[in-house]
């Protein structure tokens, strides 16, 4: 792992989100086949409600809405964007990249637009790609993370059926004053965990067939939830400490922690181990569910537009996901 400390200022110009209209509570989830009792769902993952994409909505639709919202928030025009990075593991099609559809629908110029797959750490990996583009001469980069994980979850699976929601978040990054904005960033991968949380079929290793569909091999599988929990927590703490050290910021100085919204228990445990008061930690997961790569930008937007965001006071973004992937960033607004 290497920490990137940008030599040029990288500003967070605007953020936006899109959450589908349909809200699914735990009673409805039970009616759909979830094997967990409502009290079990709340105790195990702390999710009370989650959003579900409408039947006509695809991941590109969610990404488009979030991207438009971020541009509007920044007062920017599509013509201002030099690059589009879309983090997702639930794209519209295996090919082409969902970013191609979003680039066209947003009315961007013929700029680079591509998908990035880093599971729940996807937005942090997208920020890394954006920062490097800005440091090599580009002026505006739009990073979007969008997921419809509900279509890859078995509604009868105890490990995953209650956990995930659908949604999208976006951020427009641009050049800014040195020492402000994105001041430290790190990403890392340890492929030993490539099959800890995964969708086995549908790729070149196991192409789609009647047998794979019948066996549910196109659904998300998580065989050892407790182990995934501890590995994610350990990775998030390590990444956070690395970027805070690089930025010269102590945990006690962090005004707002915006973690991946894996589940309520993990977010609360992270805060306890880091010694951060819960009122400084963004907690969205009870009402959004786990949005995979979209959880951090959605939570970031809610933090940025809420009462706990102050100019000049450090904000920490941190995530870990399947693969294993992990990332963290320090932003000084």
Kindly list the domain boundaries of the chain, sorted by start residue. 3-178, 183-332
Name the architecture of domain 3-178: 3-Layer(aba) Sandwich (3.40)
**Alpha carbon distances (Å) from 194 to 39, 77, 218, 228:** 31, 39, 16, 11
Q: What is the model's pLDDT at position 137? A: 95
For the question of residue 120 being annotated catalytic, the response is yes
Q: What is the model's pLDDT at position 227? A: 82
From 34, 45, 120, 302, the catalytic residue: 120
State both tokens at 327. Answer: 């990332």
For the question of residue 93 being annotated catalytic, the response is no
State both tokens at 116. Answer: 């990035």
For the question of residue 45 being annotated catalytic, the response is no
From 45, 290, 302, 324, the catalytic residue: 290
Structure confidence at residue 229 as a pLDDT band (50, 70, 90)? confident
Query: Which tens digits make up the pLDDT trace of 55-76?
Result: 999 999 999 999 999 999 999 9
Q: Is the predicted pLDDT of residue 172 greater than 80, yes or no?
A: yes
CA–CA dist 91, 16 (Å, integer): 19
State both tokens at 24. Answer: 């699914």
Q: Is the predicted pLDDT of residue 85 greater than 90, yes or no?
A: yes
User: What is the residue-averaged pLDDT of the chain?
Assistant: 96
Q: Tell me whether the CATH fold assigned to 3-178 matches the one assigned to 183-332.
A: yes
Query: Which tens digits make up the pLDDT trace of 247-302?
Result: 999 999 999 999 999 999 999 999 999 999 999 999 999 999 999 999 999 999 99
Query: Which tens digits make up the pLDDT trace of 93-107?
Result: 999 999 999 999 999
CATH of domain 183-332: 3.40.47.10
Element (H, E) at 145: strand 140-148
From 34, 45, 260, 301, the catalytic residue: 260
Q: What is the model's pLDDT at position 193? A: 85
């Amino acid at each position: 792992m290497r920490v990137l400390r940008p030599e040029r200022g990288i500003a967070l110009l605007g953020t936006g989100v899109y959450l589908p209209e349909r809200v699914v509570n735990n009673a409805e989830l039970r009616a759909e086949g979830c094997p967990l009792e409502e009290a079990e769902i709340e105790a195990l993952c702390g999710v009370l409600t989650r959003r579900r994409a409408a039947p006509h909505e695809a991941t590109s639709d969610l990404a488009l809405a979030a991207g438009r919202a971020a541009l509007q928030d920044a007062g920017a025009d599509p013509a201002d964007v030099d690059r589009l990075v879309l983090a997702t593991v639930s794209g519209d099609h295996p090919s082409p990249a969902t970013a191609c559809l979003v680039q066209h629908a947003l009315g961007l110029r013929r700029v680079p637009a591509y998908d990035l797959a880093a599971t729940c750490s996807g937005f942090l990996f997208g920020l890394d790609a954006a920062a490097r583009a800005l440091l090599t001469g580009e002026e505006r980069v739009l990073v979007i993370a969008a997921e419809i994980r509900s279509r890859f979850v078995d509604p009868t699976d105890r490990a995953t059926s209650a956990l995930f929601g659908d949604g999208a978040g976006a951020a427009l990054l641009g050049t800014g004053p040195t020492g402000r904005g994105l001041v430290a960033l790190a990403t890392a991968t340890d492929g030993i965990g490539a099959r800890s949380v995964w969708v086995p079929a549908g790729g070149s290793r196991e192409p789609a067939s009647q047998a794979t569909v019948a066996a549910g091999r196109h659904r998300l599988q998580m065989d050892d939830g407790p182990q995934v929990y501890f590995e994610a927590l350990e990775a998030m703490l390590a990444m956070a400490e690395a970027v805070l050290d690089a930025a010269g910021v102590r945990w006690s100085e962090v005004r707002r922690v915006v973690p991946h919204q894996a589940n309520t228990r993990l977010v609360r445990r992270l805060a306890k181990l880091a010694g951060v008061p819960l009122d400084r930690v963004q907690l969205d997961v009870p009402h959004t569910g786990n949005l995979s790569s979209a959880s951090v930008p959605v939570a970031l937007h809610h933090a940025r537009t809420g009462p706990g965001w102050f100019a000049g006071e450090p904000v920490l973004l941190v995530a870990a996901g399947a693969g294993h992937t992990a990332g963290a960033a320090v932003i000084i607004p």
